[in-house]
Amino acid sequence: MISHIPNNPPHNTDTLYAQAHEAVGAFQFDESVVAVFPDMIQRSVPGYQAILSGIGELTQQHAQNNSNLYDLGCALGAATLTMRRKVEGKKCQIIAIDNSEAMIERAKEHLHAYHSEIPVQLHCADMTQFPIENASVVIINFTLQFIDPNQRETLLKTIYQGLNPGGILILSEKLHFNDPKLQQSIEHLHLQFKRANGYSELEISQKRSSLENVLITDTEQDHLTRFKKAGFQSAGIWFQAYNFASFLAIKTTP
Ligand code: GEK
C-alpha cells in the first residue's frame, strides 16, 4: 500500500481526477489511463498484488502441457507476466486479449522487457467475440465488470466449452452486497483504503462518476449462480479484500 504521495508526483502517478472537471465523462481505457495504470490499479484495488501472486500459483498448479492459457482483459499484461514466469518449462502458450489499442501497445513493451521461452499472442479484440479453445487456464482479472451484464453468461459458457477437463477459470471482480448495511460498511473500508493511498475526496468522487454505468458490479451469489449455469462443477472465492474478490471455477468433467 502506498501511504505517502510525493509533492511533485512522477509522470506515472495517477492524477487524472485531481483537478475539478467541468463535466466528468465516461471512463475509457485510453492513452492517459495507460500512462498511470499500474499506479491507479495498485491504489484502487485492495489485494491486487496478492491476487496476481495467487494467479501465478494456481496457473502453475493447473496449466496443462500443449494447452492455451488465456488472459482476457489483459490491460498491461500483469497477469500474463505472472503466468508466464510460473509455466516456464511447460509446453503452453498464452493468449492475451484487450480491446484497448493503447493497452495492447504498452503491454507489448512490458512483455518484451523480459525473456521467456513461453510464446505470448497479444490481440486487440473484444473478449466476448474471441474463440476459447484447448484451454487449461482462463484469467479474467477485474474485467467482467466492464462487460454488458447481458453478455456475461454467454461469455462464461464459451469459456466453459473451451476449457479442457481439469481446466480452471480465475475471475476477479469488485462486488456489491444486497444488504444495505453490509454494503455501506464494506464500501467505507474501500474508500478508506483509497484515502490512505493518497486519493482526495475530489478524485474519489469524480472517478466514481466516471465509472457509473461503465463498471457494473454483481453480488457473490450472482457470480456463483452464473458459474453453475455455465456448467462449472466447482466454484468459490479463494481471495477477498473488502468488496474485491477472486473466484476459482473448475471444470472437473468433460
Ligand atoms: C490486470 N486484467 O492488470 N474485451 C477486451 N478487453 C476489455 C473489454 C472487452 N470487451 N472491455 C474492457 N476491456 C488486468 C486489469 S483492467 C481493470 C484489467 C480495471 C479491458 C480494458 O481495456 C482494460 O484494459 C481492462 O479490460 C480492465 O490484471 O481497470 O479495473
- Does residue 19 lie in a domain region? no
Whether 252 shows a pLDDT value over 80: the answer reads yes
Residue 197: partners with Cβ closer than 8 Å, 6 or more residues away: 1, 2, 3, 42, 43, 44
Whole-number Å distance, alpha carbon 120 to ligand 1 midpoint, is 17
Instruction: Reply yes or no on whether the pLDDT at 183 is more than 50.
Output: yes
Q: CATH number, domain at 52?
A: 3.40.50.150
| pLDDT range class, residue 35, cuts 50, 70, 90 | confident
- Taking the centre of ligand 1 as the mean of its atom positions, its distance from the CA of residue 74, in whole angstroms, is 6
Ligand 1 neighbours by CB, cut-off 6 Å: 29, 41, 73-75, 78-79, 97-100, 103, 126-128, 141-143, 146-147
Place of cell 447481458: 150
Q: What percentage of the chain has pLDDT greater than the value 90?
A: 74
Mutation pick for ligand 1 pocket among 31, 45, 98 (CB with most ligand atoms within 8 Å)? 98
Does some domain include residue 41? Answer: no
Residue 206 corresponds to which amino acid? Answer: Q
Minimum-distance ligand 1 atom for the alpha carbon of 100: 22
Note whether residue 20 is domain-resident.
no
157: phi then psi, degrees, rounded to nearest 5: -65, -40
Is 92:65 a contact under the CB 8 Å cutoff? Answer: yes
Query: Each residue of 106-144: pLDDT tens digit?
Result: 999 989 998 999 999 999 999 999 999 999 999 999 999
- Angle at Cα 184 formed by Cα 178 and Cα 186, nearest 5°? 90
Q: Does any domain span residue 29?
A: no
CA of 51, closest atom in ligand 1: 28
Angle ∠(170,172,177) on CA atoms, nearest 5: 130
Which one is predicted more confidently, 29 or 59?
A: 59
What is the rounded average pLDDT of the residues 55-67? 98
Task: Please give the distance, rounded to the nearest whole angstrom, from the Cα atom of residue 29 to the centre of ligand 1.
Answer: 8
Domain presence at residue 55: yes
What is the tally of structural domains in the chain? 1
Calculate how far, in angstroms, residue 97's C-alpha sits from the geometric centre of ligand 1: 9
Q: Which domain holds residue 95?
A: 48-175+215-250
Query: What are the angstrom distances between the C-alpha of 119 and each of 48, 62, 70, 115, 174?
Result: 25, 18, 12, 10, 30
Q: List, in sequence order, every residue forming a beta bridge with 134; answer none if it has no partner.
A: none
Contacts of 28 (CB under 8 A, 6+ apart): none
Q: What percent of the chain has pLDDT over 70?
A: 88
168 in a structural domain: yes
Question: What's the CA gap between 68 and 224, in Å, rounded?
Answer: 25
In a domain, 141, yes or no: yes
Q: Which helix (H) or strand (E) holds 192?
A: helix 180-196
Q: Ligand 1 centroid to 98 CA: how many Å? A: 6
- More reliable by pLDDT, 203 or 85: 85
CA-proximal residue: ligand 1, atom 12 (nearest) = 146
Q: CB–CB of 63/95 below 8 Å?
A: no
pTM: 0.91
Contact of 28 with 212, CB cutoff 8 Å: no
Q: Is residue 96 domain-resident?
A: yes
225-246 in b/e form (b: 16+ CB < 10 A) is ebbeebebeebeeebbbbbbbb
